[in-house]
Structures are given as C-alpha cells and as structure tokens.
Structure 1
Amino acid sequence: MTYQALYRVFRPQRFADVVGQEHVTKTLQSALLQNKISHAYLFSGPRGTGKTSAAKILAKAVNCEHAPTSEPCNTCSACIGITNGSIPDVLEIDAASNNGVDEIRDIREKVKFAPTSVRYKVYIVDEVHMLSIGAFNALLKTLEEPPKHVIFILATTEPHKIPPTIISRCQRFDFRRIQLPSIVSRLRQVLDAQQVKASDEALLAIARAADGGMRDALSLLDQAISFSNEEVMLEDVLTMTGAVSSSMLATVVQAIHEKDVAKALQLVEQFMNQGKDPNRLLEDLIFYYRDLLIYKTAPHLQKGGVAIDPVFQQLAQFVSVPAIYETIETLNKSQQEMKWTNHSRIFLEVALVKLCQQEQASSNSELLIKKIEKLETELQRLKEQGIPITEKEHAPAPAKKTAKPSRTNAYKTPVGRIYEILKQATHQDLALIKSHWGGILDTLKQQNKVSHAALLQETEPVAASPQAFVLKFKYEIHCKMAADNTNGVKENLESILFDLTHRRFEMVAVPDEEWGKIREEFIREKGVHREKEQEEEDALITEAKRLFGEQLLEIKE
C-alpha cells in the first residue's frame, strides 16, 4: 500500500474526534437526536479546523441505518460507503474549480431526483465563497426551498465574501482556531497510535507553528517524524519550521535588557547563519514579550505558551511593564515595515539597536525617579525631626536666579509657517477638520495606537488653510513629540485625515502658550498693513482730484 499522510489517516470519523469545536458538535448532535435537521448549513472558520470533516460526519449521521443517532456507527453499509466515497448520493464539490453557473444549474436539475442508496442526498460545497455571482443567484432559490430529501452543507474560510441572501438561508456554525493544549493532546494520541516518541517541547512547538489548525499540525508532525531519527525532539522541529527556541529568545531579550548592542547583533548573525527567517524571528520575539507581559500582569492566564523556566522568571522580574509595551510597539512597527522591503535583516538589526537605546533611556528615567523619591523621603525625615527647611537655605544665588536656563531641547515654533497658514486661513477648512477630529481619535483607538490617541487627546485645531492646519497642544513636550513625528504620530494623523476628508493637509504644531502671542501679533500686523493700504488709497484719490477735478472723478468702492 502507498503511504498516506497523517492528516488523512487520522481524519475524524465521529463528532467526538473533532477537536476544539465542542460548541458545533454538541449542537449538531442535539439536532440529530431530536430530528431537527435543517436543509442548509454553513460551516465557516480558519483552514484545518474540521469544517469538511464535520460535514462528512453529519452526512453519515443523517443517513446511518441506526438513525436518529448522535454519532454515525461507521459499520453499516451507508456509513462505510460515505466514508470511502462509493455512495453517489453524497457529493463533495470543490467550488474553486466548479464555480460557474452551468455547474450549479446541473445541481438544480439533479436535486429533484430521490436518493438511490441512502435516506438523504447531501451536497458538501467546499470553499463556497469562490462561486461567481451568477452561480450564487442560480443556487439561491434551490437553497431556500430544496426537496425534503436534500441537505446542503457549505464550507468556507471567508464568509464575508458570501452574499447575505445565501447566509440568511443557512444555519451558520463558526469554527474556531484550536487551542494549543487541544492540539498537543491530539498529536500525542496520533504518536501513540503510530508508536513514535516525541518530547512535550517538540509538540508544543508544532502546535504553535500550526496557528490553530489541526491539519497543519498533523502535516508538520508527519514532516518532523520523517526528519528525526528515533524520537521527535525540539531541535528537529525548530530546524524544520525555522523557529527559534525559547532559550535563544531569552538570550536576545537579556541582551536588550542589558543594553548590549554588540551581543544582540552577534545573535542575529548567528540566527541568519542557521538559515532563520528575520520575519519569523521578529514574530517569535513579539510572542515572547507577550508571554512576559501576561506572566507579570495575569499569571493565571499563562497557558501553553513559553516554558516558565528560571531564566524566564528572572527576565520577568527585571523587565518592567512599560518597557514591554514600548518593545512590542517597536517590534510591531518594524514587522509592518518588513513587508515592503527586500532587506528584512536590516530592519531587524535596526529594531534591536533601537530597543537597546529605548531600554537605556527607560533605565535612566527609572534611576532618576528613584533619586527623586529618595530626596523626598530625606526631606520628609528632616521635617519630622523638627529641622527647619526654609526656601532661603535652598534658594540659588541671585545671579543664578535671574539667569534663564538653557533649553536646548525646547520646541522651536515655526512662526513663519503659521503666518502663511493664517494668511490663507478659511472658516470652511477649519470647520471641516474640526468635524472629523472625533473620528480621527476613534480611528487611532481602533488601530490600537493608544499612545497616539493619548498624545492628541488635549489638542485643538485652531486655524486651517486649503493645504495645512495649525494644531494647538496643551503641553510643549507633546507638541515637540508630534512635530518630530515620534513613533509616526504626525504621519499617521495626516494619513487618517486624508482618508476622512479626501484632502491632503499638513499638520503644524504649536504650544498653547505660544499660540496666543502668535495670533495677537498676526492680527496687529494685519491691522497696520490695512492702515498703510488705506493711507496709500487716500493719497491716490487726492492726487486724482488735483489732476482731473472733483466733477469728473467718480469713486467706486
């Protein structure tokens, strides 16, 4: 006999074998026992989660010789015939290759005839979203009122592409991604049946790589068994899938925490020499930091993720939650940028260097906060001891008191650019931007750009021209962050505004304390300019009267 893949050998033959979809199987079993069988079903969900298998099990259950029953017996002639595909009354149709109107019309003609071998004719239409609009229209009436002996089971991975008129005529069941523990348990059953050994770490790595699909997990297990010698080990799975072990990821995270740029780049070089994919490495890092965050904030939710070893616990103790937030945001941004470049390794290296610098800045801030807390504690202790603390004792010298501190990092307001906007400003443009400002903040929250939304929370558009607008910030530091495009705030804001208004506006930031002065100065200059124009106009009229006389002169405003 030729070799069969594991996902074919261990395809579920009963509802009890369908893993991780109890909400579907329980409902179908109850309907079978009560003889409440619908004429049309829609099974939707990610690939490899059991949609087609559940459809064939349902076809066997309704046609089983022991019906009504919650499970097919798999021993009667009907069950055996449906399993091996020898009964013509149960048809499995691939809509990807049979998506035309003619194929659906052929089905419409054949549904009228009674089944020859079993009780019900069952049509299982896989990837039904691939049907053309004409094919859907041809199926519509038949799907609504089919003969009593016909059952339609539609399966799809993209239900949003199916017309609502089709969905409304079906009982819909949404299949979920299968949880890691369920996949590992099923893989262990398959290995026991195959008499193959495998480590728990290897099975967990396979389950994570399968991304919630049992068929993908069985295919990876099949490949791992062929790749390994006697026992499937973690190293075999990592080599096969291109993933990185938790211990190596912990080494990278530790290098970032210790601000060791050289070590982080050396690890990247080592991974690249092993043939690892930069995109996959970045994704594994994001998941590792996610596991750190869950372990620190809600440890009871840590299920089936990374191994909780002493190194992981030590990193969870040292890495702060704000640092994890910043790291995940930086890695996610780099991952998005990788999709549009052919040099993904460079983006990975830049991301690691940036993370080391962010971690250093975070550590400096934490150290400064600790020093301030220590000084406040010492001051409170002196007050409790009755030692008088006067402002005179701590006041600086008079010369230093009058000197203004240098503000090298202060925000430089673009006064000239704001004047240009004010000269062309209109009430219509300002009203347009203000009317969409709430929508901009809502869009940022939907994009999970919480930091951007927080930065723009206390802002207000105060002037707008056809090409640009002035945005007033309550705090100067927020104004500087937005103007410098820190974390892409300015670019993202202008992009969302373009999507909402279909017009390209440039954002110019101004602090609240500066806006009042700039506005008053502009109004004052504008008034002086008008006075000069009026004086020039009066002089011109006087000269005209002298040359031509008042009788021949007519003045029009």
Structure 2
Amino acid sequence: MEPFIVSARKYRPQTFRDVVGQQAITNTLTNAIEHNHLAQALLFCGPRGVGKTTCARILAKQINSDGTEREGEDFAFNIFELDAASNNSVDDIRNLIDQVRIPPQVGKYKVYIIDEVHMLSQSAFNAFLKTLEEPPKHAIFILATTEKHKIIPTILSRCQIFDFKRITVKDAAEYLKYIAENQGIVADDDALHIIAQKADGAMRDALSIFDRVVSFSGKELTRKAVTENLNVLDYDTYFSATDLILEHNIPQLLLLFNKTLSLGFDGHHFISGLASHFRDLMVCQHQDTINLLEVGDVAKQNYLEQSKKTSNRFLLQALNIANDCDLKYKTSKNQRLLVELTLMKLASIDFEAEKKNSEHDILTGPSPDFIAPASFFKGNNALQKKPKESTAQEQSPAAPPTPVEAKNKEEQTHYRPQESPKEVPSSDAVVEPKPETEPQPETPPIKKLNIGGGKRVSGLSLSSLKIKKEHELSRKDETIDESKLPKDPFTEEEMQKHWADFVDKIDLEGKKILASNLNADVPKLLQEKTIWIELPNGTMKKEIEREQYDLMEYLRKKLNNYFIELKITVNETVAKKFAFTPEEKYQKLREKNPAIDLLRQTFDLDL
C-alpha cells in the first residue's frame, strides 16, 4: 500500500505557470530572472496558503538553472530554509551569517529562505541588518511572513517587497476542478465553490478541505455531501427562508429556524448567512453586478429567479433588519428570541411599511385609510364605506358661542388635524358635487392629538385615526363673530385684584415659580385694554409667555372683556429692586424701618 500524499504537497506548483492567482508577482519574478534584474533581498508577505514559500522555492530553482542540469534537479545543496519561528535567536542568525560567506559548490547562487521572519527577536533582526544590506554576490535572501507590520522598518527598507493577495473563489474553484479531473472525481461546480468559499482565499486550505470531502463522499462530490461534511448551511435553506418571508408565513419560518438549530447550527450563523443571501439577491438586481456573485452556475440561476420576486426596497429593509440582529446577537441574553423576532419582522416588512406610511401622513399631511392585506376584506361586505349623511344639527345655523366655547373652539382650531382625503364611492353610488373650500394651512407636526378636550390620544396609533374620523363627522363648522363678544370697561384696580386672585390660585396648585414671576411687578393698564408688566430678565418673560393663555382667559372671563392684551417688557435695571440674599433682605428692611438695627443689637440676632 502506497503512502497517501496530501494534495497540498502532491500538486505543489513546480513552475511559475502553475502558481494560482498570483500572475502579477510571477510575471515580475520571471522578467527579473530573464533580464538579470533580481534583487539580493526579497520579502514575500501575504495571507497563509497563497504561495509565498512555493514561489520562493521556484525562484531558487530558476536562478540556478542554466539548461545543463539533469531533469528533476532541485538544487537541494543551494537552497537553505530556516524556520524563524523556532530559530529566532541571535546565535541562529550568526550561524547563518557564517554559512553565507561560503560560495556554492553546484550552481551559481545560494538561496536562503527564512519563513515566518516576523518571529525573529529584536536582537536577531539587528544582527541580520548588515548582512542583509551587503550580502555576498552569490547569496540571495528570500524572507516570507504573514504579518509584515511586525518587521522593523530597517529590514523593510533593505528588501524588495512583494504583496501576495488572497486567491479568488473563481480561481480556487477552477484549480480544484483541474485536480478533480486528474483524480477521476466527478464534482459539482456548486460543491467546488463552497469549498473555495470555506478556504477564505487560501489555496492550501482549499486542497486540505478537498481531501477531507473526497474521503467522505468518494469519487462523486456533490453539494449536499460538501455542506454536510463542512457543517455549512446549504443554499436551499436560505432560498426556502426567503420564500417564506415573501409569503409572510411566520409559523413555517420559525419551524425552519428550529430545524436549523436542531442540525447543530447556532442562530448567529443562520442570521449572518441570511444577510449574505439578501446581499446576493441585491447583487442580482442589476446586470452589471451579477459578476460579484461567487457561486456556481446552478446556484446563480436560482438567485436570478428569486431576485425577480423581490424589490430593492424589500432587500434594503431586510438587510438593515438582519444586520441589526447580527450586531446585537452577542450582547443579547435571549439569543434565540432575538433571531425569531428578527424573522417575524422580516416576514412583516410589507405591513410595517404601510403602517409607517400611515404614521408619517398623520404628522405631515392628509392621511389615507390604513391599508390592510387584501385577504382581510375578501367576502366582507360589511366593511364597505357608506355615504356620509348630514345631520339636522349640522344643517342648523350656528349659534353665538359662549366664552368657554370660544376657548374650546380656539384650542381645536390650533390643534385641528388636516382633512382626510375624500373617499372614492362605489360604482353604483351617486356622486354629488361639493363646494370648494379654502385650503387649510399646513399644521405643525405634533405627537399628541387632543380632540374635543378629552383624553389625549397618541398620533402614532391606529385608534387615533378612528377618533379623528369621528371628530370630523361630529365637528361643527362654526365661526366666531367678534362683534358679539363682550367688551365691558374695567379699572386698573379691578384688573390688579383679579391678577392677584389668579396668582393665589396657581400658587395653591403648586405652580410656585409662575406665581413668583407674576408677582415680580405690579401690572398696569394701558389704553383701556393692554395690561403691561416689566420684568428684570428674559427668562421670567419666557416663563410667563408660556403660561399666558390661562392667565388671559381667566382675566377675560372675570373682567367680561375678550379684547384685553398682555404686554411684557424686560428691563434688567429692575433686578436691583429685588432682594435675594439675607443681607439684601436685611438692607431692604432697614431702609423701611431704621429701628431694626436697634432690635438686632439688643437681642444679638443673626441674619
């Protein structure tokens, strides 16, 4: 029985033409050899398994070949490989420097390949600097590393640097197909693409996975065998999940997720794969981006077919929801519930979008009726709208409002929601022309609707729509006739008395700050209808202006005059009249009664 040789060794490239995915570097090295333009110190850096050591060995073999050597000559006496991970001391570098001085016995160059060079110690790097900068003519150093940032700058400046890139999924899948044909293995393109994706740009990892899957499935490599052996979710799982999401089938979607968990996959793996699936579907939406889809031909066709069932808006919302779940997964205490909630949101994207549109219209303008699923209204004629009937109360002439009704009417006018759009009548209904009305001014966005002065209703709920419609049906189109409002004359003393009564009233209600601000000055009457107060700062003015509606409504009712106005001015010099500290209060009292000094001295009182 012959010993088994792993594919990573058996199919290691022997020439630069066999190297996969590094054409720019191999072409550069080939031209440098042909034109005798090769540097004496080279640094190969890049991810694992992309061909750094392989290219170093091919280069060492190529520069010693002159056409006279026998076939299969590997120049083993001219190539020295040093593993810097285990030989990283100063003594190891000194032994290497001693060997460099001896010229080669066969061939033209001695090539020193130092793998994982970033593992050398600081002292070893410093001992290596002079030899690396001015080596003998027969010595060439090739350094290989996966972490270039750990190498000191003085080493980097003495080397010609070659950055190896990750091998693409397409190149890795094509090379795996070539190996499968050599071994007589029938392999699906989708299976090879899954192996290439799992390798994450490393050809050595791809070959190792390939050997493992072949040992599992034998001479026939299928997508099912690969996904089962590598413990990855098949494309079909995500295709099924997306179909259920588009059908809004939440129960089956949760069952599919439960089945996935029972196979040993965690929720994070499932939701991140679903987000990648949505990304692939979005890539298929445009002809120019289909090439970004790194899957087999059969899977690509399935993606194209499912992408036709989706829209860009759906995919963007789905990506946002899935990505949000991906970010919150590790910090969540109930991770399964988080994923299930995400799946329910995904399956309800259309309904959520309609709800958000309705909420947006409540705040910004006329709002259509809430759109429920079409299946909800099938065979349900009881929900069809009936023409609006006018009541006798609406047809009667409007009576003059009382002062309290005028207040309520003013509140409703200020918070008046915009009219809903006219409903479309059925085909057999008689459409009557309605008189044109003046367009209502655009109302500012508000979060609460206070309709009819009753319970406050959230503007972002469906119940507010119903209440708004009921209010529209029952509201009277009344206008205030200012000529009928009372306008009784009053004196300044009467106004000051009611002002003081209002201050006492709000003080008992707990509004201490407002009461103090209103007591800051004695109100004066100007031009028979203007009440004027002077305050020491703008903050007090803003506080009173914020609550002046209740004040003016109280005064208008008590004085029986609905034409009075309030004028507030700020005079910062007035602040000097007010005493805030104990010393200031004591000075005020002493100005009024100088005998208070005698009282303080007699009883030895403190402030």
TM over 0.5: same fold? yes
| CA pair 350-205 structure 1, distance change in 2 beyond 3 A | same
CA distance in 2, matches of 1:157, 1:276: 31
Q: Matches of residues 51-62 of structure 1 in structure 2 within 5 Å?
A: 51-62=52-63
Q: 1:540 aligns with which of 580, 586, 604?
A: 586
Query: What's the offset of the Cα at 1:272?
Result: 2.4
Q: Matches of residues 115-126 of structure 1 in structure 2 within 5 Å?
A: 115-126=104-115
Residue 355 of structure 1 corresponds to which residue in structure 2? Answer: 346
| CA pair 331-165 structure 1, distance change in 2 beyond 3 A | farther
**Cα shift readout 1:362-393 (whole Å, capped 9, x = no counterpart):** 365579999979999x99xxxxxxx9987528
Query: What's the offset of the Cα at 1:309?
Result: 5.9
Q: Matches of residues 147-546 of structure 1 in structure 2 within 5 Å?
A: 147-297=136-286, 298-305=288-295, 307-308=298-299, 312-338=303-329, 345=336, 347-358=338-349, 360-362=351-353, 364=355, 392=437, 406-409=457-460, 521=543, 534=580, 536-542=582-588, 546=596
**Cα shift readout 1:152-210 (whole Å, capped 9, x = no counterpart):** 11112221222222222211111111122211211111112112211222111111111
Q: 1:76 aligns with which of 70, 83, 88?
A: 70
Over the aligned positions, Cα root-mean-square deviation in angstroms equals 4.2
Q: Matches of residues 40-55 of structure 1 in structure 2 within 5 Å?
A: 40-55=41-56
Aligned residue identity for 1:305:
V
Say if 2:119 is the partner of 1:138: no
**Cα shift readout 1:379-418 (whole Å, capped 9, x = no counterpart):** 9xxxxxxx9987528879xxx99869944449xxxxxxxx
CA distance in 2, matches of 1:395, 1:520: 29
Residue 416 of structure 2 corresponds to which residue in structure 1? Answer: none
Which protein is bigger by CA-based radius of gyration?
2
User: Is residue 190–residue 295 contact of structure 2 (8 Å, CA) maintained in 1?
Assistant: no
Aligned residue identity for 1:361:
E
> How many pairs align?
423
CA distance in 1, matches of 2:580, 2:359: 60
Secondary structure of the equivalent of 2:43?
strand
Aligned residue identity for 1:2:
P
Aligned residue identity for 2:23:
E
CA distance in 2, matches of 1:212, 1:358: 36
| CA pair 30-390 structure 1, distance change in 2 beyond 3 A | farther
Unaligned runs of 5+ in 1: 68-74, 380-386, 411-515, 552-557
Query: What's the offset of the Cα at 1:345?
Result: 5.0
User: Is residue 359–residue 460 contact of structure 2 (8 Å, CA) maintained in 1?
Assistant: no
| CA pair 3-339 structure 1, distance change in 2 beyond 3 A | farther
CA distance in 1, matches of 2:136, 2:338: 60
Residue 2 of structure 1 corresponds to which residue in structure 2? Answer: 3
Query: What's the offset of the Cα at 1:320?
Result: 2.6
| CA pair 282-39 structure 1, distance change in 2 beyond 3 A | farther
Q: 2:97 aligns with which of 108, 128, 138?
A: 108
Query: What's the offset of the Cα at 1:271?
Result: 1.8
Aligned residue identity for 2:346:
L
User: Is residue 79–residue 112 contact of structure 2 (8 Å, CA) maintained in 1?
Assistant: yes
| CA pair 3-372 structure 1, distance change in 2 beyond 3 A | same
Query: What's the offset of the Cα at 1:524?
Result: 11
Aligned residue identity for 2:73:
I
CA distance in 2, matches of 1:198, 1:256: 32
Aligned residue identity for 1:166:
I
| CA pair 347-229 structure 1, distance change in 2 beyond 3 A | farther
User: Is residue 293–residue 300 contact of structure 2 (8 Å, CA) maintained in 1?
Assistant: no
Query: What's the offset of the Cα at 1:346?
Result: 5.3
User: Is residue 45–residue 147 contact of structure 2 (8 Å, CA) maintained in 1?
Assistant: yes
| CA pair 163-369 structure 1, distance change in 2 beyond 3 A | same
Residue 378 of structure 2 corresponds to which residue in structure 1? Answer: none
CA distance in 2, matches of 1:226, 1:51: 28
Give the TM-score normalised by structure 1.
0.65
User: Is residue 242–residue 280 contact of structure 1 (8 Å, CA) maintained in 2?
Assistant: no
| CA pair 123-22 structure 1, distance change in 2 beyond 3 A | same
| CA pair 409-177 structure 1, distance change in 2 beyond 3 A | same
Secondary structure of the equivalent of 1:392?
coil
Query: What's the offset of the Cα at 1:229?
Result: 3.3
Residue 91 of structure 1 corresponds to which residue in structure 2? Answer: 80
Aligned residue identity for 2:586:
L
**Cα shift readout 1:482-527 (whole Å, capped 9, x = no counterpart):** xxxxxxxxxxxxxxxxxxxxxxxxxxxxxxxxxx9999559999x9
Residue 477 of structure 2 corresponds to which residue in structure 1? Answer: none
CA distance in 1, matches of 2:7, 2:283: 34
| CA pair 523-295 structure 1, distance change in 2 beyond 3 A | same
Residue 416 of structure 1 corresponds to which residue in structure 2? Answer: none
| CA pair 402-152 structure 1, distance change in 2 beyond 3 A | same
Unaligned runs of 5+ in 2: 362-366, 372-419, 425-431, 442-448, 462-537, 548-571, 602-607
Query: What's the offset of the Cα at 1:265?
Result: 1.9
CA distance in 1, matches of 2:434, 2:302: 47
| CA pair 266-113 structure 1, distance change in 2 beyond 3 A | same
CA distance in 2, matches of 1:519, 1:393: 36
| CA pair 271-23 structure 1, distance change in 2 beyond 3 A | same
Aligned residue identity for 1:229:
G
| Farther-moved stretch of structure 1 (539-548 vs 364-373) | 364-373
CA distance in 2, matches of 1:240, 1:529: 84
| CA pair 340-221 structure 1, distance change in 2 beyond 3 A | farther
Query: What's the offset of the Cα at 1:247?
Result: 1.9
Aligned residue identity for 1:174:
D
Identical positions, percent:
35
Secondary structure of the equivalent of 2:113?
strand
Query: What's the offset of the Cα at 1:76?
Result: 3.2
**Cα shift readout 1:345-368 (whole Å, capped 9, x = no counterpart):** 555444433433445413655799
CA distance in 1, matches of 2:541, 2:67: 86
User: Is residue 187–residue 203 contact of structure 1 (8 Å, CA) maintained in 2?
Assistant: yes
CA distance in 1, matches of 2:314, 2:200: 27
| CA pair 249-402 structure 1, distance change in 2 beyond 3 A | closer
| CA pair 226-141 structure 1, distance change in 2 beyond 3 A | same
Residue 519 of structure 2 corresponds to which residue in structure 1? Answer: none
CA distance in 2, matches of 1:340, 1:109: 56
Aligned residue identity for 1:392:
T
| CA pair 533-105 structure 1, distance change in 2 beyond 3 A | farther
Aligned residue identity for 1:538:
E
Secondary structure of the equivalent of 1:43?
strand
| CA pair 548-357 structure 1, distance change in 2 beyond 3 A | farther
| CA pair 529-132 structure 1, distance change in 2 beyond 3 A | farther
